[in-house]
Structure 1
Amino acid sequence: MNLIEHINETFHQSVQMQMESLPVVAEPVARSAELIVRRLLEGGKILTCGNGGSAGNAQHFSSIMLNRLDRERPGLPAIALTTDSSTLTAIANDYDYDEIFAKQIRTLGHPGDLLLAITTSGNSENVNAAIAAAHERKMLVIALNGRDGGRLSGLLQEGDEEICIPAESTARVLETHLLIIHCLCDLIDKQLLGN
């Protein structure tokens, strides 16, 4: 196996997946950015969750909101529900792993807040439970999803947004989700700060 050829092929596949996704995701990304800004201007906050690489993406989104992407601005309220290992392990131990995000949402989430739920398959039970908990708390949901949408797609309600990457490769979905996160954060800044 030629390593350079393999690297070239991996880059090509990533770029190709992002370009193929563009017609499918452009409008939901724009609507999601508008929804986030509305929630922020109304005094809401953004809660994020996901597993594995999606947890990393959830944390990355929250860090950009709290700090910045490219432009100087005040921090924006976002909490990654993936970062407190004591809370995560206590909930998993005392209740169930499927409850690690939902229990936090029931405590920290309020009407007017928004959940950014990230999964590459739509079949992560703890993310799906988080969506149900967000709806219980009268929160809207933006789902970064993958593959065929899985069970998650059927959980979304009116006012929610789904941005689904139609790829089977977990790596390609994660990479495209990261690009979408950067697009969302840039669009949020443009709406709040102008050009």
Structure 2
Amino acid sequence: MVLQDRVISLFHNTMEVNAQTIEEYTPLIAHAGELLLGCLVTESKILCCGNGGSAALAQHFSTLLMNQFRHERPGLPAISLNSDGSALTGIASDSHYNDIFSKQIRALGQPGDLLLILSNDGRSANLVQAIQAAHDRDMLVIALTGGTNDNIQSLLLPDEVEFCIPADDEGLIYSAHMLILHALSDLIDYQLFGGEE
């Protein structure tokens, strides 16, 4: 019974955080969907990055765009900056780990591109440098963060968006981030290709 109670508690906590996320961020999710659309219709690309579990979510989102979300459609230009192990380890070895994303952004990013970062706490120096590099390249930023120690918000420009999930539990933050990424994928598909209401 104890194990079942833990499972029930986990699901209830996840539903509570997701409900708070929906209540607080629905207008911003719609706005972020419009920013992503604006990037894609100008034939610009979306660069995604994160550390650890957030890296997996960045790869997941770029895969949804490159391949498909719910329905078959043309691939959309998205790159996960976490995917090239040689670039990551080379930059970390020859330069500094904090440069692993910013160097790639300076090489690949163009004005009009968009950077989507994911961080469960908003404290990673490599993501701070990624945002600075994106701004240097005239790119907009969408940030998915969580917890209470957030260094990201002060770096964002007025038109940019941050979703800071009100939780300290990494699992709950990742779950809410996944929900937001799926909502953004749906909004992109709906705006570009139409579909069911």
Q: Which residue does 1:76 correspond to in 2?
A: 76
Q: For the residues of structure 2 that align with 1:8 and 1:173, how far apart are their CA atoms?
A: 18
Q: Which residue does 1:94 correspond to in 2?
A: 94
Q: How does 1:45-124 map to 2 (within 5 A)?
A: 45-124=45-124
One-letter code of the match for 1:192?
L
One-letter code of the match for 2:98?
D
Q: For the residues of structure 1 that align with 2:134 and 2:158, how far apart are their CA atoms?
A: 13
One-letter code of the match for 2:183?
C
Q: Which residue does 2:152 correspond to in 1?
A: 152
The answer (yes or no) to whether the contact 1:109–1:137 under 8 Å persists in 2 is yes
**By how many angstroms is 1:144 displaced?**
0.6
Q: How does 1:11-50 map to 2 (within 5 A)?
A: 11-50=11-50
Q: Which piece of structure 1 moves more, 99-108 or 142-151? A: 142-151
3-state SS of the aligned residue for 2:188? Answer: helix
The count of aligned residue pairs is: 195
Q: How does 1:137-176 map to 2 (within 5 A)?
A: 137-148=137-148, 150-176=150-176
Q: For the residues of structure 1 that align with 2:61 and 2:189, how far apart are their CA atoms?
A: 13
Q: Deviations over 1:21-59 (max 9, x none)?
A: 212111111100111011100111000000011001000
* Unmatched segments (≥5 aa) in structure 2: none
Q: For the residues of structure 1 that align with 2:179 and 2:23, how far apart are their CA atoms?
A: 14
3-state SS of the aligned residue for 2:133? Answer: helix
Structure 1 segments, 4+ long, off by >6 Å, are none
**By how many angstroms is 1:149 displaced?**
5.8
3-state SS of the aligned residue for 2:132? Answer: helix
Q: For the residues of structure 2 that align with 1:44 and 1:153, how far apart are their CA atoms?
A: 24
The TM-score normalised by the length of structure 1 is 0.97
**By how many angstroms is 1:8 displaced?**
1.1
Q: Which piece of structure 1 moves more, 3-12 or 54-63? A: 3-12
One-letter code of the match for 2:81?
L
3-state SS of the aligned residue for 2:164? Answer: strand
3-state SS of the aligned residue for 1:151? Answer: coil
Q: Deviations over 1:123-165 (max 9, x none)?
A: 1111111000000000000001112361111000122111111
One-letter code of the match for 2:88?
L
The TM-score normalised by the length of structure 2 is 0.96
Q: For the residues of structure 2 that align with 1:190 and 1:148, how far apart are their CA atoms?
A: 33
Q: Which residue does 1:186 correspond to in 2?
A: 186
Q: For the residues of structure 1 that align with 2:92 and 2:52, how far apart are their CA atoms?
A: 16
* Unmatched segments (≥5 aa) in structure 1: none
Q: For the residues of structure 2 that align with 1:120 and 1:26, how far apart are their CA atoms?
A: 20
